[in-house]
Amino acid sequence: MNPNHSQSHSIPGPEDICRAVLPNGIVVLCRSNFNSSSVVISGYITTGSEYDPVDKLGLAHFTSRCLMRGTSTSSFQEIYDRLESAGASFGYGASVHTTSFSGRALAEDLPLLFSTMAESLIDPQFPQDQFKRLKSQLLTSLAIRGESTQDMAAIEFDALLFPGHPYGRPEDGFVETINAISRQDLVDFHRDYYSPSGMTLAVVGAVHAQDVIALVDRFFGNWTKTTPDNHPINGKIQPPRQRIVKHITMPGKSQSDLVMGSLGPKRNAPEYLAASLGNSILGQFGLMGRIGDSVREKAGLAYYASTSLNAWRESGSWEVSAGVNPENVDRAAALITGELRRFTSELVTQEELEDNQNNYIGRMPLSLESNSGVANSILNLERFDLGLDYLQRYPGLIRAITREQILEAARLHIDPDNLVIVSAGPDGKAG
């Protein structure tokens, strides 16, 4: 047997990912793994913070966090006691485009996960006492966030990079917007925007696909509620046309945090993988790539310095983050700008390319060692329409990326003269 053939088929693909669509639009993805006695569920419905009213930002997040606080048949305590007695877990979260859910249990307790999900997703009651308790917890979390120079710089960076767009607003809202939300707002949001249309879930573990599909049909087959087809019209996303610099003064802090960058590719853009590989070279690989080597190791200007490429459905961000002594903010920003200028004017070296290609290809199987890793991976195949064979094609796609493609992706998305630069700390500014 060809060893490469054997290896390719240990990676999820069309041969062992079962995909089914229920009549009400729910997409079910399943991959059996009988080497494990457990099972993982991961998925989403297609509603998120893009539907939040501007004066009630955080509503989708608030609603998702309150789903398991009580239903018409079970109290908050009863729901968690059932899960805990089985050693199972289940929970929700919300992002811009989706409300997500995830859970794990022994395979024999998969019906428990599905019954918990169906009960909380379809029939939450948002008890007033639990609503008040959760609101207090969310406000406490926002107060803590407001004291973080890192969080404040990141929030302002997003606001300046995505003005008028949900990507530019924090999904957990602000103190004033959470305070403005009533219990009835959660009830109305759930009624208006929760439906099975477009719901997608991945199940991985010691289960047969036909049993999973039967369970989904049993618990969700009769959920036929529809929501308005009109998608929210979000603001048009444009790259910065000038250099935008802002400092947020936070007295009493001993460190400043710096975030700077520009728009990145959306996840299914043709240049995404080249940009991702370039981002690794720029500020991830080894001791945080070129940025880490230049700003932290050689110049000693930062406590940490790295880059990130965040890719979503409509756009993305390509950003550099650094924690610096307040006196070094301007010098660090200038040095990072210089590295970005070099990155957009010169080819990366052949050694950088090959080292990062090997790293990407080598770590991919590691991300698929757990049931949750597989579930999240195959969920993204559906989310971004990548194809069920994408994970098997992935090593070849990475190996085919050239130095020229990385430079082209960098030039397409990074303009060193028109960056958004935000710092947060005791005084001074980024410039």
In this prediction, residue 321 carries a pLDDT of 97
Letter for the amino acid at 228?
P
Strands 256-264 and 316-324, by their bridges, are antiparallel
CB atoms within 10 A of CB 187: 16
In this prediction, residue 225 carries a pLDDT of 76
CATH numbers and ranges of domains, the chain: 15-220 (3.30.830.10), 244-425 (3.30.830.10)
In this prediction, residue 274 carries a pLDDT of 98
175-232: pLDDT as tens digits: 999 999 999 999 999 999 999 998 999 999 999 999 999 999 999 999 987 665 556 7
Report the distance separating Cα 166 and Cα 158, nearest Å.
Answer: 10
HEC per residue, the chain: CCHHHHHHCCCCCCCCCEEEECCCCCEEEEEECCCCCEEEEEEEECCCHHHCCHHHCCHHHHHHHHHHHEECCCEHHHHHHHHHHCCCEEEEEECCCCEEEEEEEEHHHHHHHHHHHHHHHHCECCCHHHHHHHHHHHHHHHHHHCCCHHHHHHHHHHHHHCCCCHHHCCCCCCHHHHHCCCHHHHHHHHHHHCCCCCCEEEEEECCCHHHHHHHHHHHHCCCCCCCCCCCCCCCCCCCCCCCEEEEEECCCCCCEEEEEEEEECCCCCCCHHHHHHHHHHHHCHHHHHHHHHHHHHHCCCEEEEEEEEEECCCCEEEEEEEEECHHHHHHHHHHHHHHHHHHCCCCCCHHHHHHHHHHHHHHHHHHCCCHHHHHHHHHHHHHCCCCCCHHHHHHHHHHCCCHHHHHHHHHHHCCCCCCEEEEEECCCCCC
In this prediction, residue 373 carries a pLDDT of 96
In 3D space, the residue among 203, 215, 202, 217 whose CA is nearest the CA of residue 23 turns out to be 217
Tokens of 134: 């959760």
In this prediction, residue 230 carries a pLDDT of 59
13-54: pLDDT as tens digits: 999 999 999 999 999 999 999 999 999 999 999 999 999 999
In 3D space, the residue among 377, 419, 115 whose CA is nearest the CA of residue 263 turns out to be 419
Asked if 279 and 407 touch (Cβ cutoff 8 Å), the reply is no
Report the distance separating Cα 43 and Cα 121, nearest Å.
Answer: 12
In 3D space, the residue among 409, 379, 376, 381 whose CA is nearest the CA of residue 394 turns out to be 381
Letter for the amino acid at 114?
F
What residues of the chain score a pLDDT lower than 70?
Answer: 1-9, 226-231, 233, 428-431
Per-position b or e across 234-261, b if 16+ CB within 10 A of its CB: beebeebeeebbbbbebeebebbbbbbb
In this prediction, residue 7 carries a pLDDT of 40
